[in-house]
Amino acid sequence: MYKKIIKQIDEIIEISKYFNLEFFEFFIRFNKVYIFHKQSLPKSVLS
């Protein structure tokens, strides 16, 4: 699941080379932080 999300983020990084880099960099950073926090939460909180 997480590997799939990270793969999508990597694809977004590739796309971002052709578009608005600053927006994509912010978006990617936000998503990586969100994923990290989601992973670090106790399982009971997520369910």
The residues spanned by each domain of the chain are: 1-46
pLDDT of residue 47: 47
pLDDT of res. 43: 61
CA quadruple 43, 47, 30, 17: dihedral sign: positive
Tokens of 4: 């799939």
- The whole-angstrom separation of Cα 37 and Cα 30 is 11
Tens-of-pLDDT digits for all 47 residues of the chain?
A: 678 877 887 887 777 677 766 777 787 788 777 777 677 766 655 54
H/E run at residue 14:
helix 2-16
pLDDT for the residue 42: 63
| Residue 12: C-alpha distances to residues 23, 32, 34, 35, 36 (Å) | 11, 12, 16, 15, 18
